[in-house]
């Protein structure tokens, strides 16, 4: 027997078995899963599916066919995705881009895939099903009708276990025959249609709830006084205690204590806890709001948790994002972003992997890399070329320098300059001994001062330019008086590196504010005639030189 005749005989035998199985099953038996065709058929036979980036294309196609309830035809390698067609691309970052191509229109969606391979296949199939039912309901209804092909027969596919790897079982395909096969005499069992959405319902608890479901179009309104449980919802759901939708919510879901859903496109509100997969609209909870990716706004009275945020995340106490925050993250106490953040504001502590814009905290800011601005009492940055403004700035790879200077009034100062390459803090002590270093007597003619300041920095080769504003508290003699004695300086410091040290020159504008009627200027001179009893201001310039280590 030749190879073509042997193949035809095998196909005929399989067709006879399939026909006998239909007769034995009867009209009430469940329909077999829809077939997966190896090569594209006509658009009236099956929905064309092009899959790229997945090792076992037939296995994923079988999951999509089971989800849609219609025959699916796998496009050949390199073949275009001609309408009607669904194109699925999985990249190396575990993201799936799903595009539905219809006549004149394209509908796309990009999703993050879970780590488990079985769950990833289920998620892809669910999203393809949602797109198909939303955009091509009439087409699916036509494809769901039984189709008899005279030149091929399909064997029921093996149950799909959800694996995307190459070791997953391959879905059976239609075997071409050498000669036409007669169609079975028994009527084929109907294939299952699209999944149903709740149209209307009311009840006390899920076992006692009455639901009316519709095959096409959006759902309606469901109300449960205690616990509401639905597979799908397309508009509005209310529950006195908990509201549970296992797949998606396109409208609004409200629960007195807990709401949970696979996906929310509109709003989800809970008196205590709101939990969902992706949230594209608004999620509000009186205490805790938790979600996967959030593209809209997530608000919680106490704690809000999300995998990634593209909009805004607001919490009365704690806001946590597992990855990037592309909008704003605001928390009354603590804000944490595992990845990059554009704007992060917290009453106490901010923690971010990277700050692209602004990070403001009442106490402490911590970031792995700062390319924007940190404002807080204590700022910690692992790297970056941003600006950290605070009382204490710790920047890895930044600058820490000690500098000693003296001006023409013989007032010396020792300062510690610390910060990043673009912004620094300066802390200093200084003074003037009226009798010189040999005079061991400290009296009111001797001047002591301490202060701090901050400002920007610029570097040109071996030369550094520092512009800083400093405020010094001035003390005369060895006692702190009750008078106001404040020296404010705007300093320009130029340091040029020579070997291990740097030569420093600079100038300052001094503004001395005092309420002591006996003081003239800061150079330890007392006025012969006491001045006014009010606050007096003196302004003068100085120049100074020094060395920096």
Average pLDDT, the chain: 74
The string of pLDDT tens digits covering residues 265-319 is 778 888 888 888 777 788 888 888 888 777 778 888 888 888 878 888 888 899 9
User: For position 205, what pLDDT does the model report?
Assistant: 63
Contact assessment for residue 262 and residue 278, using Cβ atoms and an 8 Å cutoff = no
Which stretch, 73-82, 191-200, 418-427, has highest mean pLDDT?
418-427
Confidence bin at 533 (pLDDT 50/70/90): low
Output phi, psi for 219, to 5 deg: -80, -165
Evaluate if residue 31 carries a pLDDT over 50: yes
User: For position 39, what pLDDT does the model report?
Assistant: 53
Residue with tokens 């807080």: 376
Evaluate if residue 151 carries a pLDDT over 50: no
Evaluate if residue 479 carries a pLDDT over 80: no
Mean pLDDT computed over 398-419: 91
**Residues paired with residue 56 on neighbouring β-strands, in sequence order:** none
Confidence bin at 105 (pLDDT 50/70/90): confident
User: For position 235, what pLDDT does the model report?
Assistant: 64
User: For position 248, what pLDDT does the model report?
Assistant: 67
Structure-model confidence comparison of residues 12 and 537, the more confident one? 537
User: For position 497, what pLDDT does the model report?
Assistant: 92
Output phi, psi for 15, to 5 deg: -65, -40
> Of the ranges 99-108, 208-217, 346-355, 535-544, which one carries the lowest mean pLDDT score?
208-217
Strands 152-153 and 105-112 come out as unpaired
User: For position 324, what pLDDT does the model report?
Assistant: 85
Cα 315 to Cα 330: distance, rounded to the nearest angstrom: 6
Evaluate if residue 157 carries a pLDDT over 80: no
Confidence bin at 476 (pLDDT 50/70/90): confident
User: For position 18, what pLDDT does the model report?
Assistant: 38
User: For position 438, what pLDDT does the model report?
Assistant: 58
The string of pLDDT tens digits covering residues 199-228 is 556 666 655 555 555 444 445 677 777 776
Cα 260 to Cα 262: distance, rounded to the nearest angstrom: 7
Centroid of chain to Cα 251: 23
> Of the ranges 69-83, 87-101, 186-200, which one carries the lowest mean pLDDT score?
186-200
User: For position 530, what pLDDT does the model report?
Assistant: 58
DSSP states of 212-258 as a string? EEESSS---EEEESSEEEES-BSSEEEESSEEEESS-BSSEEEESSE
Mean pLDDT computed over 169-195: 40
Q: In the structure encoding, which two tokens stand for residue 40, read together?
A: 């594209």
User: For position 177, what pLDDT does the model report?
Assistant: 37
Contacts of 205 (CB under 8 A, 6+ apart): 224, 226, 227
Helix (H, G, I), strand (E, B) or coil at 165: coil
**Burial class of 152 by CB neighbour count within 10 A (0 to 12, 13 to 18, 19+):** buried
Mean pLDDT computed over 526-543: 74
Report the percentage of the chain scoring pLDDT > 70.
Answer: 67
User: For position 209, what pLDDT does the model report?
Assistant: 57
pTM of the model: 0.53
**Residues paired with residue 179 on neighbouring β-strands, in sequence order:** none
The string of pLDDT tens digits covering residues 282-292 is 888 888 888 87
Structure-model confidence comparison of residues 250 and 374, the more confident one? 374
């Amino acid at each position: 027997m030749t190879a073509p005749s042997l193949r035809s005989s095998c196909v005929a035998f399989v067709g006879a078995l399939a026909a006998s199985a239909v007769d034995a099953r009867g009209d009430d038996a469940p329909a077999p899963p829809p077939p997966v065709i190896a090569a594209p058929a006509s658009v009236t036979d099956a929905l064309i599916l092009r899959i790229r980036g997945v090792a076992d294309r037939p296995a994923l196609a079988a999951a999509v066919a089971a989800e849609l309830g219609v025959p699916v035809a796998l496009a050949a390698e390199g073949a275009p995705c001609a309408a009607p067609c669904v194109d699925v691309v999985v990249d190396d970052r575990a993201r799936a881009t799903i595009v539905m191509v219809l006549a004149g229109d394209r509908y796309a969606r990009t999703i993050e895939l879970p780590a488990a391979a079985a769950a990833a296949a289920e998620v892809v199939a669910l999203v393809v099903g949602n797109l198909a039912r939303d955009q091509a309901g009439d087409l699916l209804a036509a494809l769901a009708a039984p189709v008899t092909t005279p030149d091929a027969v399909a064997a029921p596919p093996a149950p799909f276990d959800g694996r995307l790897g190459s070791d997953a079982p391959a879905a059976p395909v239609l075997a071409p025959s050498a000669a036409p096969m007669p169609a079975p005499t028994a009527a084929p069992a109907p294939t299952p249609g699209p999944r149903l959405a709740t149209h209307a319902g009311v009840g006390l608890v899920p076992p006692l709830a009455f639901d009316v479901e519709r095959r096409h179009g959006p759902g309606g309104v469901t109300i449960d006084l205690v616990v509401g449980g639905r597979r799908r919802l397309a508009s509005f759901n209310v529950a006195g205690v908990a509201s549970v939708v296992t797949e998606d919510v396109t409208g609004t879901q409200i629960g007195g204590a807990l709401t949970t859903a696979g996906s929310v496109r509109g709003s989800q509100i809970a008196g205590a806890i709101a939990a969902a997969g992706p949230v594209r609209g608004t999620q509000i909870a009186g205490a805790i709001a938790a979600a996967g990716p959030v593209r809209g706004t997530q608000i919680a009275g106490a704690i809000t948790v999300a995998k990634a945020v593209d909009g805004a995340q607001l919490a009365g106490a704690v806001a946590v994002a597992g990855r990037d925050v592309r909008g704003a993250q605001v928390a009354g106490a603590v804000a944490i972003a595992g990845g990059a953040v554009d704007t992060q504001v917290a009453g106490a502590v901010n923690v971010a992997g990277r700050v692209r814009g602004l990070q403001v905290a009442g106490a402490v800011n911590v970031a792995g890399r700062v390319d924007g601005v940190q404002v807080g009492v204590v700022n910690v940055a692992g790297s970056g070329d941003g600006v950290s403004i605070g009382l204490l700035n710790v920047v890895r790879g930044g600058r820490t320098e000690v500098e000693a200077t003296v001006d023409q009034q013989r007032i010396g100062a020792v300062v510690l300059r610390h910060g990043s390459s673009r912004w620094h803090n300066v802390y200093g002590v200084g003074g003037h001994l009226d009798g010189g270093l040999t005079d061991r007597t400290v009296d009111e003619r001797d001047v002591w001062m301490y202060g701090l300041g901050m400002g920007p920095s610029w570097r040109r080769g071996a030369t550094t330019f520092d512009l800083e504003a400093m405020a010094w508290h001035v003390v005369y003699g060895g006692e702190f008086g009750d008078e106001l004695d404040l020296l404010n300086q705007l300093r320009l410091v130029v340091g040029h590196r020579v070997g291990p040290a740097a030569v420093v020159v600079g100038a300052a504008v001094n503004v001395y504010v005092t309420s002591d009627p006996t003081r003239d200027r800061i150079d330890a001179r007392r006025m012969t005639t006491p001045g006014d009893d009010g606050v007096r201001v003196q302004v003068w310039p100085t120049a100074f030189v020094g060395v920096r280590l």
